Chains A and B, each alone.
Chain A
Amino acid sequence: MGDKYRFIGKATPRRDATEIVTGGTRYLNDIQMPDMLYGKVLRSPHPHALIKRIDKHQALALPGVKAVLTWEDVPDWRGGTPRHTRVLDRKVRFVGDAVALVAAATEGIAQEALGLIAVEYEVLPAVFDMEEALKPDAPQLYEEYPGNRVTPGMPFFGLNSLTEIVMGDVEQGFGQADVITEGQFGYENLPNPLPPEPPGAIALWEEPNRVTVWVSNQASYMDKITLYHVMNRHVETRSIGGPCGGSFGSKFMSWQVQSYAALLSRATGKPVKLILTKEEHLAVFTMRPASRMRAKVGMKKDGTVTAVEGTWLVDTGYYSMTTQAQVAVGCGEVQIMVRCPNWALQPVIVCTNRNASGIVRGFGGQELKCMLIPLLSLAMEKLAIDPFEFLKKNYVKPGDGYVWRDGNWYTYRGVDYAAAMEKGARTFGWKEKWKGWLKPTAINGATRRGVGVGVHGNADIGEDASEAYVRLHPDGTAMLFSCVTEHGTGQRSNFIKMVAEVLQLPLESVSLAPADSLINPYEFGPAGSRGTYAIGAAAIRAAEDAKGKLFELLAPLLKTRPEELDTADGIVFVKGNPEQKIPWRAMSIDRTITGFGRFEPDYTLSNCMMSFVEVEVDTETGKVTLLRVVNATDVGQVIDPPGLAGQLNGCLGSGGIDSAIFEETVLDRSTGHILNANLIDYKWRTFPELPTIDNVVMETPFPSHRFHAVGVGEIATSPGPSAILMAISNAIGTWLHAYPATPERVLAALGTLSHGEKKRGGA
């Protein structure tokens, strides 16, 4: 397909490639400034406590210490949704909550000063389980959230933001079912997206009310907006985004570390850098929400789902900024996966005394599917339905629809993904490997193989607004102004490609402005999979707008009308007669031409990823080995082949497939301490353990933008986890429903672990 384009669909080196391989890329922590101070955070050892007294005299007396701030010293800045969470509070709500901030000449001095701050706490009872937290006599985290229930709804999504799925008549639906299954399922192991670069910020305050923040975030423009609200809307905020050493969604929620740096800069008048340690990253920064569902589904013999009813409990930890959004999007995504006319699914977001949950690839839908697919599987088993056929049949088709995050109904107008799914199944050999429910694909002594399949899709590919400028220069070059940072997807290079394609300029002639909120227009950022369609559309429109203005300006010189003109390589020519031409220079050397492009949200398109997995289970040791993954998708048009492959291979990490095999954050539920907050005890996949991955990518043109493409990167992690549990269950011949499938759990499911935990979930 790539042939019809000069750049689109071709593998071209990333714009930042040389810097990356030579160590020249300047990530946040590589930035140095004259007179810069270093910030550190004193953190609570208690999961829930009132601060009675803080003595900071000794810390302030330490040479090199420039500021020590406690809740008594700072303005009432608040974040979260609603904005209830104070930047520093008199109350601490989890082990690791911020108690005091220190700025010093070196990190070492700041660290030493933390030990010199004396804090007296009144320890309060704490709660670590969402159902416990909902009980009437449970410890209360906030006055604003009675019963520890977080206010539902995401104001950013509008007044009718989706908070539940209620439609049709579930009683009638269950009446039509051939089989009804129910049970309790969980996805509660709190995998951490864990980008390699820890979160952090550098801030420079200028009196009376201006702050510049250097950030590491995939969506740096939004930091400006978030901080503006946090700082009570009277501080002029500027965010400067740079290369981001991974985010996977998580760094979107960096307002706290950014606020700490801003407060310390405000107190000292100097730039302050504050980078979290890896331990802080794992123990106090955000991770996936924990989910628990009690639900019931009705299914007909032909795989038609007649009703879904249940409760979805979401543990957001000690506060929520985006969990309501994850619930809204998750509720939308589940309708994309399962066509069903009758729903009564009630989410409840609960606060508990652990670190906050935040954004991770999969954004609510992965969590919900990790529970719902196992429940649907119980019904499929009773009806002997092949899960591949079920998922293919039930995935949204053109003309179907869903209630999306804003509470409105949208009719899907994209492609039918059945063809991509079929191709994936053929590549994987699904028909040969699928032997029926709870039946292994192969047995070899004590090892058994099993297969599983999952699916996920998101109508966020056209979510939120994007704006861009494209500026044309008389020397035949162009510059794109789009406030995006490079966080691993290669999108900064891809937007350059799109502009180069529209203007038919060599790639080297197109550049991209730094992700500085001062010079760029509004940009929600590459969240979800919106980069290709939403951000791309704004860039394309800006380039087209600029090109139109160029033609208007030069048409009289060529004695023709603008519609008759085209351009390539900095030359404007008459379409029918390329010899009649004029260089861009003719616009005059004292002129530039600026085009503007805006993308308005569009929820009528969804992406899709189906993942097939094959595992081998050692029934003696309980060890699960992932042998093979096939990801199948249709992206309309590939923009950059290697970049896409990288995103799809990402299915393993960042809280994806491996969250079903070995990844988890271990929370001590008596003390609130996280027990594996380091990269030795937090398990991650190494090179020798790589499975085979095949990515099946179809290119059926989408009615999206000029290049008919849609994004897909975010969702690669999402179909895998439930597919893994399905594959293990099939391999061992009995249901396994707890994430991750550690050897103990596998042996317990097999009944060969004497003191192991009991099998959980299932009807």
Chain B
Amino acid sequence: MHGQAIEKNNMLHLTVNGKRYALEQGSRSDQVAPEHTLAYTLRETLGLTGTKVSCDEGACGACTVIMDGKTILSCMTLTIECDGNSITTIEGLSDPTTKKLDPLQQAFIDHTAFQCGFCTPGMIMSAKALLRENPAPTEEEVKEALAGNFCRCISHYHVVKAVMAASVKSR
């Protein structure tokens, strides 16, 4: 994380899914308060509710987003620490103009790699970051990369298949 805390009244600049946002600091609903987490800002201020919050304490991976290439837990990251950073959320994976899904998203559909689907955005973001770094992971590497993602329905087996399928395509 290389963002810096902003000074009072300064604007905060975020790039989310390629779109640039300039946000004021303050307590109005369209502003960013010092205690706002990135998950809160994404969901409540920017209306990007695809990122889910389950534990809100850094334990389950539901809120995973990608910031400057690395996964972060958006519930454990203060928005004011993200000034100048570029963030990708689940809404940013498909092609913005054609709406064509990312191959990983398509693989999740093809393998029904979800049940209730609540953990899915976090799973996909964790897996996406893995595939960017390691386009051809082994099953063990996939499992290791997703070790922080909680899934109560036990969709793990289908998720591993989906990620492996997407990795083959990207080879």
Which A residues contact B (CB, under 8 angstroms)?
11, 13-14, 16-18, 20-27, 29-30, 32, 106, 108, 193-198, 243-246, 248, 277-278, 486-490, 642-643, 645-647, 649-654, 678-680, 684, 686-688, 690, 693
Contact = CB atoms under 8 A, between A and B. Distances in A.
Contacts of A642: 111-112, 158
Contact of B108 (A16, A21, A32, A679): A21
B101 A18 contact: yes
B59 A687 contact: no
B116 A13 contact: no
B143 interface: yes
Contacts of A486: 116
A195 B59 contact: no
B154 A245 contact: no
Nearest to A25: B117
Interface stretch (B4-12, B18-26, B43-51, B79-87): B43-51
B1 interface: no
Interface of A: prevailing SS: loop
Contact of A246 (B35, B60, B152): B152
Contacts of A690: 143, 156-157
Interface of B: prevailing SS: loop
Q: Which 5 A-B pairs have the closest CB atoms?
A: A23-B50, A245-B118, A488-B116, A488-B115, A23-B90
B154 A196 contact: no
A22 B146 contact: no
Given A650-B154, A679-B60, A22 B93 contact: yes
A684 B29 CA distance: 36
A687 B154 contact: no
A21 B154 contact: no
Contacts of B53: 29
12 contacts: A14-B112, A29-B53, A197-B54, A246-B116, A246-B153, A278-B56, A278-B57, A649-B155, A653-B151, A653-B153, A680-B57, A687-B142
A490 B47 CA distance: 27
B154 A278 contact: no
B38 to A, nearest CB: 15
A374 B109 CA distance: 42
B112 A11 contact: yes
A488 to B, nearest CB: 3
Given A18-B101, A245-B118, A642-B112, A196 B50 contact: no
B120 A678 contact: no
A184 to B, nearest CB: 31
B18 to A, nearest CB: 15
A380 to B, nearest CB: 30
Interface of B: 29, 33, 35, 43, 47-57, 59-60, 62, 89-91, 93-94, 101, 105-106, 108-112, 114-121, 124, 140, 142-144, 146-158, 160
B44 to A, nearest CB: 8
Contacts of A653: 151-154
B101 A21 contact: yes
Contacts of A13: 109-110, 112
Contacts of B124: 21
Contacts of B119: 196
Given A278-B57, A646-B158, A687-B147, 12 more contacts: A17-B114, A20-B114, A32-B47, A196-B62, A278-B55, A488-B115, A642-B112, A642-B158, A652-B154, A678-B59, A686-B148, A688-B143
Nearest to A642: B112
B88 to A, nearest CB: 11
A687 B126 CA distance: 13
Residue in B93, B152, B155 with the greatest tally of chain A CB atoms within 10 Å? B152
A646 B124 CA distance: 18
Contacts of B154: 646, 649-653
A30 B152 CA distance: 20
A645 to B, nearest CB: 7
A196 B54 contact: yes
B109 A21 contact: yes
A244 B157 contact: no
Nearest to A21: B105
A662 to B, nearest CB: 14
A108 B35 contact: yes
B90 A643 contact: no
A653 B157 CA distance: 13
B105 A194 contact: no
Nearest to B91: A23
A278 to B, nearest CB: 4
A678 B55 contact: yes
A649 B154 CA distance: 6
Given A196-B54, A490-B115, A30 B49 contact: yes
Contacts of A650: 115, 153-154
